[in-house]
Structure 1
Amino acid sequence: MTLLRIEHLSKSFDGVKAVHDVSFSLEAGRLLALIGPNGAGKSTCFNMINGQLRPDAGSILLDGKSIAGKHPRDIWRLGVGRTFQVAATFNSMTVLENVQMALLSHERRIFNLLSRVASWREDEAMMLLDLVGMSMHARRSCAVLAYGDVKRVELAVALANRPKLLLMDEPTAGMAPEERNALMALTARLAKERNIGVLFTEHSMDVVFEYADTLIVLARGELIAQGNANAIRNDPHVREVYLGTGASFSPHAALERGAAQ
């Protein structure tokens, strides 16, 4: 079942084509990696899907309905969750309160923070924290958590609206190899269990080739290749513009390089 369909998406800034005529689709329960060198248009494409930017041309269809140009909060309430390259949590709040705030937002009760907020939807928030392995830290401040744990809290927040689509911008940035593989293994499991489509950008090729069902490659705003890990790894154009020669690249080599860092 096609969950997200992008057709002929384009965006320019002062005459520079950041994204040009990009089309792809994502099925529910699958992981799609959007990769490319710096300046390829990945963030622009992401921000159009999530509502931060309005496309100049093209369509963005979620379950067959257009979401192009909608406000991010409206897209969130349609079932699109998001995590960010720099984890977006409230350090002044506890882990539990961060998830409760997301639940309040989804219920449109963000401005009704009165007497019993501390216990509002606590069971549901704890369930989400348990899903990501953070329930034991529920009463701790986000400010004192290790960065890998903050990323897990952010994932719980992104799941608060029971998303059908999850957008993850550099989900493993700043994480050690063991942490990033654990986070992506968790994401892949939740995607399949909950039938969530996951679109993610990522620079760690070990993560991309290990967990993405399909990859799409952008270069200078244009889609130059799409397919599974083997197809992308062996695509001469991709190897030229993004992976170098690719002669020594393999998932195992990437894992070994990551472990040595």
Structure 2
Amino acid sequence: MTVLSVKGLHKSFGGVQAVQDVNFQVAAGELLALIGPNGAGKSTCFNMLNGQLRPDTGVVTLLGRSLLGLAPRQIWRLGVGRTFQITATFNSMTVRENIQMALLSFHNGLMSFWRPANALYRDEAMALLDRVGMADQSERPCGILAYGDLKRVELAIALANQPKLLLMDEPTAGMAPTERIALMDLTAKLARQDDIAVLFTEHDMDVVFAQADRIIVLNRGRLIAEGSPDEVRANPEVQAVYLGSGAVFAGEGH
């Protein structure tokens, strides 16, 4: 089942065409990697899908419903989760409280004098933390967590709106190699269990080729390749784009 459909996506900034006629789909339970050199248009593409930028032309649908013209919060409430390259948590709050804040937002909960926020959705928060392997650290402040653990907390926050689509921008940035593998293994497991479509950008080619079901490649705003990891690895144009770094072939991550 197609969850996200993108057709004819185009965005220009002055005379610079950042994204040009991009088309792709992501199915339920599928991990699709979006890769390309710096300046390829990856972030611009992500920001249009999330409502932070409006495309000049194109169609973006979630399970057949258009997302164009909706604000990021509206898109989030429809079931689009997102993680960011730099984690954004409330450092002074506990791990559990961070998840509760996301759940409060999703359920549109209101705090009252008689029922403080930290009493709401505790069980649901703990269930999410258990899914990402962080239940045993639920009462620790986020500000003292190791970076890899923060990434797991961020994943739990992204799951709070019961996403149909998960957008992950450089999910393993700043992590040690073993942590990168563990986080993406966990993401793949959750996506397949819950039929979540996952679109992620990533510079570490080891992660991309080990985890992605399919890969799409942008260069100068244009989609130049799409296919399985083996197909993309063998594509002459992709080889030319990455020539010099060896990233596609050696997994050096640059």
Same fold (TM over 0.5): yes
- Asked if 2 retains the 8 angstrom alpha-carbon contact of 1:7 and 1:24, the reply is yes
CA RMSD after TM alignment: 1.5
Paired position in structure 2 for 1:128:
128
Instruction: Give the deviation of 1:243 after TM superposition.
Output: 4.8
1:239 & 1:70 partners in 2: Cα distance?
37
Secondary structure of the structure 2 residue equivalent to 1:22: strand
Aligned pairs for 1:52-131 (under 5 A) are 52-109=52-109, 112=111, 114=113, 115-131=115-131
| CA–CA separation in structure 2 for the residues paired with 1:144 and 1:55 | 39
Percentage identity across aligned positions?
Answer: 63
Which residue of structure 2 lines up, in the alignment, with residue 211 of structure 1? Answer: 211
Q: State the shift of 1:116 in Å.
A: 2.6
Kindly indicate whether the alpha-carbon contact (under 8 Å) linking 1:55 and 1:69 is maintained by their aligned counterparts in 2.
no
Task: Output the TM-score relative to the length of structure 1.
Answer: 0.93
The Cα shift of 1:225 comes to 0.4
- 1-structure distance, mates of 2:185, 2:177: 12
- The amino acid of 1:161's aligned partner reads N
Unaligned runs of at least 5 residues, structure 1: none
Give yes or no for contact 1:92–1:143 (8 Å, CA) kept in 2: yes
Which whole-Å CA distance do the structure 2 matches of 1:243 and 1:129 have between them?
41
Task: Give the aligned partner of residue 188 of structure 2.
Answer: 188
Aligned CA distance change for structure 1 residues 249 and 158 (closer, same or farther; 3 Å): closer
Give 2:230's aligned residue: 230
Q: CA deviation at 1:15?
A: 2.0
Query: Contact between 2:205 and 2:248, CA under 8 Å: does it hold in 1?
Result: no
> Within 5 Å, which residues of 2 pair with 1:2-17?
2-17=2-17
Q: Distance in 2 between matches of 1:129 and 1:213?
A: 26
What count of residue pairs does the alignment treat as equivalent? 252
The CA deviation string for residues 101-135 of structure 1, in whole angstroms up to 9 with x for no partner, is: 000000122x5364331121100000000000001
| Post-superposition CA distance 1:64-96 (Å, at most 9, x none) | 110022100000000000000001111121100
Is 1:53–1:69's contact at 8 Å kept on the other side of the alignment? no
Equivalent-residue separation in structure 1 for 2:193 and 2:45 (angstroms): 27
Q: Write the distance in 2 (CA, Å) between the matches of 1:14 and 1:125.
A: 45
Question: Separation in 2 of the partners of 1:98 and 1:243?
Answer: 43
- In 2, Cα distance between the equivalents of 1:145 and 1:9? 39
One-letter amino acid of the counterpart of residue 169, structure 1? D
